[in-house]
Structures are given as C-alpha cells and as structure tokens.
Amino acid sequence: MFDAEYDEGESTYFDDLKGEMQKQAELNCAEFEDQDDEARIENVPCKFVQNFDPHYPIILGGLGNSEGNVGYVQMHLKKHRWYKKILKFQDPVIFSVGWRSFQTIPLCYIEDHNGRQRLLKYTTQYMHCRKWGFAIFWPGWS
C-alpha cells in the first residue's frame, strides 16, 4: 500500500519543480515584455564583452568602502527598560550605526564563569548578554 500510494503518483516532486520554474519564466517574460531588447553601456572592458553570457543577468552598482566589509560580529547588549518584550532566539534586530542601519538575526549567548559560551533562547531581563551575528564591520564603541 505504501509503495502504490507514493511511488506511482500522478506527479512527482520533479514535475512540480519544473512547473514552478515554467510559471516563474512566464512571469519574468510578462514583467519585461515592455522593455527594449537593446541597451547601451559605455566604457566596458574588453574582457567583459568577451566573457558575456546573455543567460545570466548583470546587476550594475557598487558598494562603499565600509559596505564590503561584512562578517560575523560580536555585540554586548542589554534590553532597554522601555522595551517591554523580551527578544527571542530568532527575532530580527535592526541596528543603527552612524548613518547606516541594517537588519540581522543574531544569536544570544552568555559567558559562564569558566569561559563557556551558553546559547540563550531569550535575552536576559536585567543583565547584559552577548549577541553574535552576520553584519557590517563598524568601529568599536560606536
């Protein structure tokens, strides 16, 4: 019974995946049908033209000097007394550093007396806790 029900179904996972890809391709064609096929870009290096593949989209833009430096950072935080809720394990947090703000989902931990770092499900109520997450590097004490 198990084999008959699951192995010989009308559609498989692969068929469903191909259907979703077809729907996405139709949606992409409908979105870009009113745009011109031809676009001009000046001052392009010859290596770019030689290695150009029209099947992959190209995103033009750039990052500032400080925006390219991303990695895992450690933070030392305490919940503000005006914020009534307790932050949970996977809650996104918005940080504002200087004129930049970004969102990350940090992991909360507290360091025991023996140096062991213990993962927390919630931020501590009245104590500082440490957070560890993927973010932009910024100067300390800012």
128 and 77 in contact (C-beta within 8 Å)? yes
In a domain? residue 60: no
In a domain? residue 85: yes
Examine the domain organization and report whether 81 and 125 are in the same domain: yes
Is pTM beyond 0.85? Reply is no
Range of the domain at 76: 70-136
Give the max Cα distance, the chain. Answer: 65
**pLDDT digit string, tens, across residues 81-122:** 888 888 887 788 887 777 777 888 888 888 888 889 888 888
In a domain? residue 141: no
Examine the domain organization and report whether 130 and 78 are in the same domain: yes
In a domain? residue 19: yes
In a domain? residue 46: yes
d(CA 23, CA 29): 10
**Count of domains observed in the chain:** 2
**pLDDT digit string, tens, across residues 48-70:** 888 888 888 777 666 665 566 77
Examine the domain organization and report whether 127 and 96 are in the same domain: yes
